[in-house]
Amino acid sequence: MEKINKVLVLGSGALKIGEAGEFDYSGSQALKALKEEGITTVLINPNIATVQTSEEIADIIYYLPVTAFFVEKIIEKEKPEGILLAFGGQTALNCGIELFQTGILNKYNLKVLGTPVEAIIETEDREKFANLLHGIQIKTPKSIAVTTIEDALKASETIGFPMIVRAAFTLGGQGSGFCNSMQELRQLSEKAFSYSSQVLVEESLKGWKEVEYEVVRDQYDNCLTVCNMENFDPLGIHTGESIVVAPSQTLTNSEYHKLRKISIEIVKRVGIIGECNVQYALDPHSEDYRVIEVNARLSRSSALASKATGYPLAFVAAKLGLGYGLHELKNSVTKTTPAFFEPALDYLVVKIPRWDLNKFHGVSKEIGSSMKSVGEVMAIGRSFEECIQKGLRMIGSGMHGFAANKELVVDDIESSLSNPTDTRIFVIGQAFKEGWTVEQVYEKTRIDRWFLAKLMHIHQLEMELTQFEGTNSLPPDLLKEAKKSGFSDFQLVRLLFKSETMGRNDNDIMKIREFRKKLGVVPYVKQIDTLAAEYPAATNYLYLTYHGAEHDIVFENDNRSVIVLGSGAYRIGSSVEFDWSGVNALQTIEKSGYRSVMINYNPETVSTDYDVCNRLYFDELSLERVMDIAELENPFGVIVSTGGQIPNNLAMRLYNQNIKLLGTSALSIDRAENRYKFSEMLDKIGVDQPKWKELTDMQGIFEFTEEVGYPVLIRPSYVLSGAAMNIVSNKSELQYFLDLATLVSKQYPVVVSKFMTDTKEIEMDAVADKGNIILYAISEHIEFAGVHSGDATIMFPPQKVYVETIRRIKKISRQIAEELQISGPFNIQFLAKDNDIKVIECNLRASRSLPFVSKVLKTNFIDYATRIMLGQKVEKPNKSLFDIDYIGVKAPQFSFSRLSKADPVLGVDMASTGEVGCLGDDYYEAILKAMLSVGYRIPKKNILISSGPMRSKTELIISANYLATNGYQLYATKGTHLFFQENNIPSILVNWPDVKESPNAYDLIRQRQIDLVINIPKDLSEEELDNDYTIRRAAVDFNVPLITNARLASAFIYAISKYTMDDLKIKSWGEY
């Protein structure tokens, strides 16, 4: 094997729909694999909150965009010998292909480790790839590649409706869809061509089973399939949108091995070195099949396969890229047997997607061939029923499993079954309740009857359980069967005690718990050992099941376990940042001589890698399951403050059951979380907050609003549709919003608070020890209040905040820390107008911005917090935010292009799916790098501006002037054009989309004549003019950068006026 000393690894950038945390996992594994070989690793990834961008994982880290431009500059500077392209999703792969095609790889004599680029290109061009497969007698769907819409229409004659239209070279199904008519075909093709110059028109295989294989090959042509997976939903629903089970459940041996064999033939033919994913459609009435997709890289599915089997796919793939053979590597679970084997599972796993479609305005709830989900969970068990019920709880959408949920209102079951939405599985439950049979549901859904029969079994158990009153007459066998079928104690409370209010109180749950424990009905801990117990394995990868009679491990009862609760499914508002926090807590726990124990169930994370902790329970973060584990582990304590809101919400409940929590007391957490208690406390210590009131009737809402004055922020507790929160500026908006979206009653109160305009938002991230702040970081939002902190662009250290403001913020934070006796991480959000400071929120846990400030400051807040929580004496660090002479900017990543029809506008509810953090010598360099990292481009020439209300028009004057003087051509809609005229800024008047005269804003965008769209909404209310929506949506659909906030627009324009791409410094994290 040729010795390589330095390797460049491309990351995947910000988390977005279709490309999320799974690539932090795969990149981290690859970096660990290289490090083990003594290779110096250089990582490019602007996603600062990831684990992979930590110093102990990669040697040299660049928080820069993963684009050919920046990668070339880094190659020139670092002179690596090899490059890994397969570990950073489609982003890294596309970048790698560009580096290859532009000759950059050749120029710097850079060796691609793993699958050769030529082979990757072959798999990415659908037509070439189909021909390659046909050459070895492998079937693909009938497909015609076209380059014009006319050819697409013509292709329908050969293929026939229904058909599927796909854009080539796109992320997980972008610009794809089914069509049933010429008209639909024309619409779809137009959209597809906006993503790619090549579009495929294909036969529809709706109703076929969807099955995938994860295949590995080494340079000696040794191949294996790590596992196969079967989609619960038949073909037609993107695998990222589907419930997936591993291994396949409804395939015979012959089908399983036929598809396995074809997978191996494909990877051999392509010449994969490393990992490859092959997706099939399988006829449910014969062994006929089609290969529908191949990914010659690590993928979401491969991350899932790794977690499902314990086989470290990414780690092994990286080693194979270095030239190892599979037989030369060890199975990292058994440590004695080789990596050349196929895992035998003695359990099954079910993956369920997590959607957050409620967060978006206007988006369709239907799921189909393109991906909309933002995260996923994986449930492990020893029956399908056990897994699916666990999983449905894990996704955290308020459901308790498949059964015992609150009544689901479905207007038309038949159509809801045929047109799947994000709640499809619950519609099936409702159908069963209303008397539908498995066969009838099958007719509408084409979901394999086996899966439906399993769901029916759960439903039947539910019916059986409801026949009993309380636990007295409940047969132990029925209880056992219910627990084996995944019923939680909570579900049992609901079914046995009938009352709707039962279960709200944990005492009811504890009654069931005690009852079943007396009968010996308890879960057992099992290992995931890759070989179904054939060989002994010292594995720490664990799950709990009721299909068991003994624990696989021995509990020490030495009081040395520290349990860290993870963050669950990635969702809008909670993602990789909490994974970073959890992983760092685990590291400090282990370093401090304790046994680090993680509970989490998100397959896209590093915290669910069994090599980051001493014990991993891949299981639920519910009161019941955490108590099960705590009772077995008998821990030194449980950490609830590094996993975001899920563990935070468990704090009080665990405390009430006498589970020992580390860090800030649960009582304090409750004081910060409970609106009333928190207000009372702020009043007590003399800290100001915006006026608010919880109200239960319309009259009260109007009265309070008149009192504090508009605008107000409305937060209903029951939402029928649309966003949960909104800002309203006048009475009619208030009336409209409340009528449209919410129920107001004693049971569902509405919280109304005064909203402050033109106000800065400032965040305090800190760590305290018994109420005494040990370290802190203050950061500043670029946007004014009104944009959710998760969607805001944030700079650290603050650049435009009065010293007095900072002084006051520090003082208030000290007061709060002292009052709540905080021990551990916390975050306070402030509003600042002039030097008037108000507190809007306080969370006694690690925040979203903690990894960002930790990395900018090069001080690991979680390490400090964890040591404090473990009771160690911690010294205040010497460094403070005033000592650093560079700036960090954190920018949000949106996925609106995935969410067809969603209005890409920012509001009080969070909409971003990810973020980046970049460093610069000054504010403008940092912001430009950050915005380039989330997909903005420096405009070439034409900019379309609709500048919104007067406030933002004024905000934009100077920057618009900059643009004009710098030679940009401004296009403006009417009001903006007039305003520019008054201010002597040249611009071309553009008609609104609904005016059928040219130049028309929509047409200009569609014809790709615009390089940047700045569209500032008139106000933040629900009622938005269609025209503005059309412009924003067109920008997203035709892939033109869009800015909807005036302050951000100004900042961006200043930055591009100051810097060109070449001015941006190529400096690694370590060089700052």
Partner 1 sequence: MNNPTYRKASLVLEDGSIFEGKSFGFEASVAGEIVFNTAMTGYPESLTDPSYRGQIIVLTYPSIGNYGVPANTKQHELSEFFESDQIHAKGLIISDYSESYNHWNAAKSLGDWLKEEKIPALFGIDTRMLTKHIRNHGCMLAKIIFDEDLSFDDPGLRNLVSEVSTSEKIVYGQGKMKIMLVDCGVKNNIIRYLLQYDTTVIRVAWDYRFQDEEFDGLFISNGPGDPVQCRQTIDNLKEALKKEYPIFGICLGHQLLAIASGATTYKLKFGHRSHNQPVIQVGTPHAYLTSQNHGYAVDNASIPPEWNAYFTNLNDNSNEGLQHKDKPWFTTQFHPEASSGPTDTSFLFGEFIGAIERYKGKKVLWE
Sign of CA dihedral 732, 734, 740, 745: negative
534 contacts partner 1 (rule: CB under 8 A)? yes
Taking the CB of residue 758, how many other CB atoms lie within 10 A of it?
A: 11
DSSP string, 99-120: HHHTTHHHHTTPEEPSS-HHHH
391 contacts partner 1 (rule: CB under 8 A)? no
* Distance (Å) of CA 453 to CA 286, 388, 638: 21, 13, 39
Least CB distance from residue 467 to partner 1, whole Å? 12
Binding-site string for partner 1 from residue 964 to residue 993, where x marks contact by CB under 8 A and - marks none: ------------------------------
Which residue's CB is nearer to partner 1, number 343 or number 353?
343
- Of the candidate residues 415, 460, 745, 835, the single one contacting partner 1 (CB under 8 A): 460
Helix (H/G/I), strand (E/B), else coil: 444: helix
Which residue's CB is nearer to partner 1, number 253 or number 998?
253
Helix (H/G/I), strand (E/B), else coil: 227: strand
486 contacts partner 1 (rule: CB under 8 A)? no
Least CB distance from residue 570 to partner 1, whole Å? 28
Judged by CB under 8 A, the chain residues 440 through 459 that form the site for partner 1 are 448-450, 453-454, 456-457
Least CB distance from residue 526 to partner 1, whole Å? 6
Least CB distance from residue 148 to partner 1, whole Å? 41
Sequence-ordered list of residues with C-beta below 8 angstroms from that of 571, at least 6 positions apart, any chain: 354, 356, 374, 375, 396
Phi, psi at residue 681, to the nearest 5°?
Answer: -65, -45
Least CB distance from residue 231 to partner 1, whole Å? 15
Which residue's CB is nearer to partner 1, number 341 or number 468?
341
Which residue's CB is nearer to partner 1, number 210 or number 448?
448
Judged by CB under 8 A, the chain residues 135 through 164 that form the site for partner 1 are none
Q: Are strands 1042-1043 and 143-146 parallel, antiparallel or unpaired?
A: unpaired
* Listed ranges 100-108, 271-279, 534-542, 945-953: which one lies at the site for partner 1 (CB under 8 A): 534-542
Which residue's CB is nearer to partner 1, number 469 or number 534?
534
Counting other chains too, the contacts that 948-952 makes at CB distance below 8 Å and 24 or more residues apart are 948/1015, 948/1016, 948/1017, 948/1018, 948/1046, 949/1016, 949/1018, 949/1019, 951/757, 951/758, 951/1046, 952/1016, 952/1046
Least CB distance from residue 527 to partner 1, whole Å? 9
Which residue's CB is nearer to partner 1, number 459 or number 1065?
459
Q: Are strands 760-769 and 712-716 parallel, antiparallel or unpaired?
A: unpaired
132, 462, 66, 131: which is closest to 269 by C-alpha?
132
Q: Quick check: 67 and 13 in contact, CB under 8 A?
A: no
Least CB distance from residue 344 to partner 1, whole Å? 4
Sequence-ordered list of residues with C-beta below 8 angstroms from that of 411, at least 6 positions apart, any chain: none
- Of the candidate residues 533, 720, 743, 958, the single one contacting partner 1 (CB under 8 A): 533
Least CB distance from residue 249 to partner 1, whole Å? 5
Which residue's CB is nearer to partner 1, number 136 or number 720?
136
Which residue's CB is nearer to partner 1, number 332 or number 358?
332
Taking the CB of residue 466, how many other CB atoms lie within 10 A of it?
A: 14
Binding-site string for partner 1 from residue 264 to residue 293, where x marks contact by CB under 8 A and - marks none: x-------------------xxx-------
Instruction: Reduce the secondary structure of 678-736 to three states and give it as a string.
Output: HHHHHHHHCCCCCCEEEECCHHHHHHHHHHHCCCEEEEECCECCCCCCEEECCHHHHHH
Binding-site string for partner 1 from residue 228 to residue 267, where x marks contact by CB under 8 A and - marks none: -------------------xxxxxxxx-xx--xx--x---
Least CB distance from residue 616 to partner 1, whole Å? 18
Count residues near partner 1 (CB under 8 A).
61
Least CB distance from residue 624 to partner 1, whole Å? 21
Least CB distance from residue 482 to partner 1, whole Å? 12
Least CB distance from residue 519 to partner 1, whole Å? 15
Helix (H/G/I), strand (E/B), else coil: 29: helix
Judged by CB under 8 A, the chain residues 1028 through 1057 that form the site for partner 1 are none
DSSP string, 236-247: TS-GGGS-EEES
Which residue's CB is nearer to partner 1, number 246 or number 318?
246
Which residue's CB is nearer to partner 1, number 449 or number 1006?
449
Please tell me the distance from the alpha carbon of residue 170 to that of residue 124, in angstroms, as a whole number: 9
Which residue's CB is nearer to partner 1, number 224 or number 585?
224
What residues does 839 pair with on adjacent strands?
Answer: 830
Which residue's CB is nearer to partner 1, number 276 or number 612?
276
Please tell me the distance from the alpha carbon of residue 89 to that of residue 205, in angstroms, as a whole number: 27
Helix (H/G/I), strand (E/B), else coil: 259: helix
1061 burial level (CB within 10 Å; 0-12, 13-18, 19+): middle
Please tell me the distance from the alpha carbon of residue 489 to that of residue 1019, in angstroms, as a whole number: 47
Phi, psi at residue 373, to the nearest 5°?
Answer: -70, 150
Which residue's CB is nearer to partner 1, number 539 or number 641?
539
Least CB distance from residue 206 to partner 1, whole Å? 17
Token duo for residue 173 = 């199904």
- Of the candidate residues 30, 144, 224, 403, the single one contacting partner 1 (CB under 8 A): 224
The alpha helices in 63-203, defined as continuous H runs, are 68-78, 89-101, 104-107, 117-124, 126-135, 149-159, 182-195
Please tell me the distance from the alpha carbon of residue 539 to that of residue 55, in angstroms, as a whole number: 27
Judged by CB under 8 A, the chain residues 537 through 576 that form the site for partner 1 are 547-550, 552
The alpha helices in 592-665, defined as continuous H runs, are 623-633, 645-656
Please tell me the distance from the alpha carbon of residue 734 to that of residue 966, in angstroms, as a whole number: 43
Which residue's CB is nearer to partner 1, number 266 or number 930?
266
531 contacts partner 1 (rule: CB under 8 A)? yes
Instruction: Reduce the secondary structure of 561-598 to three states and give it as a string.
Output: EEEEECCCCCECCECHHHHHHHHHHHHHHHHCCCEEEE
Least CB distance from residue 863 to partner 1, whole Å? 38
One-letter amino acid at 139 equals K
Judged by CB under 8 A, the chain residues 915 through 934 that form the site for partner 1 are none
Token duo for residue 127 = 């037509």
Please tell me the distance from the alpha carbon of residue 545 to that of residue 332, in angstroms, as a whole number: 24
Which residue's CB is nearer to partner 1, number 64 or number 223?
223
Least CB distance from residue 325 to partner 1, whole Å? 5
Judged by CB under 8 A, the chain residues 325 through 384 that form the site for partner 1 are 325-327, 337-338, 340-348, 382-384
Binding-site string for partner 1 from residue 489 to residue 528, where x marks contact by CB under 8 A and - marks none: -----------------------------------x-x--
* Listed ranges 389-397, 531-539, 824-832, 974-982: which one lies at the site for partner 1 (CB under 8 A): 531-539
Least CB distance from residue 915 to partner 1, whole Å? 40
Q: Quick check: 34 and 356 in contact, CB under 8 A?
A: no
Q: Quick check: 197 and 171 in contact, CB under 8 A?
A: no
Which residue's CB is nearer to partner 1, number 628 or number 915?
628
Find the helix or strand (DSSP H, E) in which 60 lies: strand 60-62
* Listed ranges 34-42, 57-65, 322-330, 982-990: which one lies at the site for partner 1 (CB under 8 A): 322-330
Which residue's CB is nearer to partner 1, number 540 or number 561?
540
Which residue's CB is nearer to partner 1, number 28 or number 331?
331
Least CB distance from residue 283 to partner 1, whole Å? 8
Taking the CB of residue 415, how many other CB atoms lie within 10 A of it?
A: 11
Q: What residues line the site for partner 1 (CB under 8 A)? A: 220-224, 247-254, 256-257, 260-261, 264, 284-286, 325-327, 337-338, 340-348, 382-384, 438, 448-450, 453-454, 456-457, 460, 484, 524, 526, 531-536, 547-550, 552
